[in-house]
């Protein structure tokens, strides 16, 4: 399977993906670094990185 090129943003630790595999956390069309999960900042459009889907525990 061929991978599609991606763009990497060091400051936000977010990759913009086409059909490439995401080995961390996939939200919307982005692959975000696992250290951005459950950090109190919503990085995914629908907040998936701050939910139980990402392994976050309620306050």
In the chain, where the domains are located: 7-54
User: How much is the pLDDT for 11?
Assistant: 45
Angle at 21 between CA 17 and CA 3, to 5 degrees: 75
User: How much is the pLDDT for 51?
Assistant: 92
User: How much is the pLDDT for 54?
Assistant: 87
Tokens of 3: 């991978």
Q: What is the tens place of the pLDDT at every residue in 1-59? A: 455 444 444 445 656 555 557 778 888 878 888 899 999 999 988 899 999 988 898 75
User: How much is the pLDDT for 20?
Assistant: 55
Map the chain to HEC letters: CCCCCCEEECCCCEEECCCCCCCCEEECCEEECHHHCCCCCCCCCCCHHHCHHHCCCCC
């Amino acid at each position: 399977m061929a991978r599609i090129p991606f763009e990497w943003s060091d400051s936000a630790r977010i990759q913009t993906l086409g059909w490439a595999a995401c080995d961390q956390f996939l939200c919307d069309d982005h692959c975000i670094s696992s250290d951005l999960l459950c950090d109190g900042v919503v990085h995914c459009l629908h907040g998936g990185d701050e939910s139980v889907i990402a392994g976050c525990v309620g306050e």
